[in-house]
With several copies, the nearest count.
Chain A
Amino acid sequence: MPIILLDDPDSTLAMLRDSVATLGARADGAATFRRRRAAAVDLDPETWASMAAAGWAGLVLPEAAGGMGLGAAELVALAEALGRALLTEPFSTLAVFPSVLLGALDADIDALAEALIGGAVLPVLWQGLRGEVRPLALADGRLTGEAHLVPGAQSAQVFLVLAEEAGEPVLVSVEAASAGLRVHSRPGIDGATLGSVVLHDAVAGPVLARGAAVTDAFDQAIRMTRLALAAELAGIASRALEITVDYTSNRVQFAKTIASFQAVQHRLVDMWAEAEFACSSVANAATLADQPAAFAQAVLAAKARAGDAATAITRKAVHLHGAMGFTDQCDIGLYLKRAIALNATLGQPEELRLAFLDAERAA
């Protein structure tokens, strides 16, 4: 079955995969998804704490900042395993994104890094409602403006904020408990709420970075988060395929298993091929992490490929589960919903492909 094939000379990847499997066995992903959805919260605190305890919150945070300082290959292996296990806490957006963002700065991030590693929720405020980059306004040390699509907004201790001050981008933090900060939540398709955070003259922390350092850090954070999302999507795709192969191989109609019908077999083969391509595209990106220009392109390709594969495979998987697939009690629908959510996070395939093409043709 499809897997992201990567060199693993010191077995770090295997250990990470095992450790996800262990957590997955304890914290039933599907049950957690449903519980979190019913509670209308943004994450499951217990699972999140377990993930932090395993060191994943700081997986890609530099060692100098107390993180594990691991690279693209380890990130990909972990995220793929999370996808497979349907562990749907917002790892990519709440662990990877702030880790890379902070790690890229030439600033004192020790306190923030310590909190992050310890399982604190530090969402980044930067997106508008349509997903575009929307800096808030910083003036006299106070923040005003709003950000949307914020993961973990209800559970946040501190927000990291992309703002503009005197026409220049700056990165600051703000306490979640600040006066002048309000959070509105809407349900997300993957069972976690997404917040809108509205600030009015909220007192900001000291400026962490300014100018090109901020945009560079954001670029890096977006890139690594996309890579993690791509790996998670590839994991979802592969696992949804396996589940569907199992189901159709056991479900009998007209005295034959569904999977013995040639039309179903060919469709499953096509789904497998999509998952294979998703995995190899993510592997390709992971191996290019030390070549910035090639990496940037490879990540665009991988996120687009894995997003298309995961959404298409899970849609077909739901269909191949027949009426059962249309019920909420069947886990396959959760894979579909999770795939849609991650596919729509940080750029849908069409947008990523066009960015790839633009970069290539500009080169």
Chain B
Amino acid sequence: MHPEQQDWNALSDEDFRAIFRDWVDANCPAHLRFMRKQRPVFDEVAEWYHALARKGWLSPVWPQEWGGMGLNAAKHIVYVEEWARLGCPRIPDHGIGLTGPLLIEFGTPEQKDFFLPRILSGEHVWCQGYSEPNAGSDLASLRTSAVREGDEFVINGQKIWTTLAHCANWILLLARTDKDAPKPQNGITVLLVDLTSPGVVVRPIPNLREEADFCEVFLDDVRVPAKNVVGQVNGGWALAKAVLGHERIFLGAPSRPEYALTRLEMLAEDRGAFDDPAFRSRYAKLRLDLYDLGSAFERFAKVLREGGTLGADVSVLKLFCSELYQRITEETLAVAGEEARFYDDLPVGSGHVDAMNLFLDARAPAIFGGSNEIQRNILSKAVLGLPSR
């Protein structure tokens, strides 16, 4: 256990919230609060990353024996809520949120000993290599191959939408190890791949905001030691699906629409839009959508708090949240009026409102993490039990 740790779960939510908030507020640098950029790269937030690591608070859910805080779901929600409320920046979190939990659950002792400390130290920055050009929503059809040769796997293929790969040095890769598996998802393996290996080329893909949030990763005869397989060869599908767990609730956390609404409010205040009852009417609708997203989030958080597990129905939060985020940013452009012609941020009395930045960013959450159409397909079966014929 890290010297700063204690049994956080034994505290009341309120006490934990106060302790966490006070320290974060005192230690998260002001220039990193409420950043315009949704996904800063490692170097931009390294200072804050290391501060958290020193405190032992970098990884909220890892067990304390591995340097995490060991928070249960209820405390994890508090952690995420306060993080958002204080405007802390998103840190490159695939190591903490994805690779770490996967290794803790399925990794060998050697894998844990080697990789986990290097995540906490920031030496290893991870990215997630799942999607491919023809396997976006439909992961089972991925084609990147890993062929065993002695103690190594030789990897060939291409990944895409690999978030922040250009700033990462390791990738958690899904690759096909059995082309003849009766069901396509049965021939997939999870591998830990050093991005500095020969044969790896990473190419950033600028997004609508002309920022490189994600990348293509080309793998050409890349050799990976067999000891870097996580779990069973050909058993990767279950692993890839297992790690989400209760964290699916955070895909619907109100933080993005909440941030966008404060920006809309700032712009509306500055432009006098609140004097227009027609705007007030539309704003009130958005405000109450956000308020009720909070109530709905709490409805699922309550399940976790009482020790329950979440069903497929939790993705209703993601649907509502992503679409609300879009609607808020669309209204912001309407309030901007002729100034919606500008690409850069709009000056308001006290600073700037990144109206266009948010509008464009809001296109993403309805697509990534399983498009909203796919979510609706899943919900129609898993929750409503609708027939296929």
Contacts and interface: CB of A to CB of B under 8 A. Distances in A.
A186 interface: yes
Interface in A170-191: 186-190
Contacts of A353: 281, 284-285, 287-288
B288 A326 contact: no
A297 B288 CA distance: 10
Given A263-B373, A343-B340, 16 more contacts: A245-B384, A248-B386, A249-B387, A261-B373, A265-B377, A272-B383, A273-B320, A276-B313, A277-B316, A280-B292, A301-B292, A305-B292, A322-B371, A344-B333, A350-B281, A354-B280
A318 interface: yes
A268 B278 contact: no
Contact of A345 (B285, B316, B341): B341
Interface string B370-389: 01010011011001111111
Interface string B181-215: 00000000000000000000000011110100000
Interface of A: 5, 127, 129-131, 149, 186-190, 194, 245, 248-249, 252-257, 259-266, 268-270, 272-273, 276-277, 279-281, 283-284, 297, 301, 304-305, 315, 318-319, 322-323, 325-329, 333, 336-337, 340-341, 343-346, 348, 350-351, 353-354, 356-357, 360-361
B284 A131 contact: no
B296 interface: yes
Interface string B67-107: 00000000000000000000000000000000000000000
B177 to A, nearest CB: 21
Contact of B207 (A259, A327, A346): A327
13 contacts: A5-B299, A131-B339, A190-B341, A194-B341, A254-B141, A261-B373, A281-B295, A284-B294, A325-B363, A326-B364, A326-B367, A348-B337, A356-B291
Interface stretch (B48-56, B130-138, B147-155, B223-231): B130-138
Contact of B208 (A254, A257, A327): A327
Contacts of A253: 136-138
A253 B210 CA distance: 27
B379 A272 contact: yes
A250 to B, nearest CB: 9
B387 A281 contact: no
A186 B208 contact: no
A273 B368 CA distance: 20
A327 B211 CA distance: 9
Interface of B: 131, 134, 136-138, 141, 160-161, 205-208, 210, 271, 274, 278, 280-281, 283-285, 287-288, 291-296, 298-299, 302, 313, 316, 319-320, 326, 330, 333-334, 336-344, 356, 359, 363-364, 366-368, 371, 373, 376-377, 379-380, 383-389
A269 B380 contact: yes
Nearest to B300: A280
Contacts of B131: 323
B271 A130 contact: yes
Given A260-B387, A354-B281, A188 B342 contact: yes
Q: State the 8 A-B residue pairs at the shortest beta-carbon distance, nearest first.
A: A131-B338, A284-B295, A265-B380, A344-B340, A280-B299, A353-B284, A187-B343, A357-B284
A252 B132 CA distance: 13
Contacts of B377: 262, 265-266
Contacts of A272: 316, 379, 383-384
A39 to B, nearest CB: 14
Given A272-B383, A318-B363, A344-B337, A194 B292 contact: no
Contacts of B366: 319
Contact of A186 (B137, B344, B376): B344
B355 to A, nearest CB: 10
B380 A254 contact: no
A334 to B, nearest CB: 10
A249 to B, nearest CB: 5
Contacts of A277: 292-293, 295-296, 316, 320
B25 to A, nearest CB: 23
A43 to B, nearest CB: 15
B361 to A, nearest CB: 9
Contacts of B293: 277
A220 B135 CA distance: 53
A356 B288 contact: yes
B280 A357 contact: yes
A116 to B, nearest CB: 23
B172 to A, nearest CB: 18
A7 to B, nearest CB: 9
B24 to A, nearest CB: 25
Contacts of A304: 288
A188 B295 CA distance: 33
Contacts of A265: 376-377, 380, 384, 386
Contacts of B134: 252
Nearest to B347: A129
Nearest to A266: B376
Contacts of A256: 389
Contact of B319 (A194, A259, A273, A360): A273
Nearest to B213: A326
A6 B343 CA distance: 35
A149 B338 contact: yes
Contacts of B337: 130-131, 344, 348, 351
A217 B307 CA distance: 40
A338 to B, nearest CB: 11
A276 B206 CA distance: 33
B208 A326 contact: yes
A353 B228 CA distance: 56
Contact of B205 (A301, A327, A344): A327
A156 B161 CA distance: 42
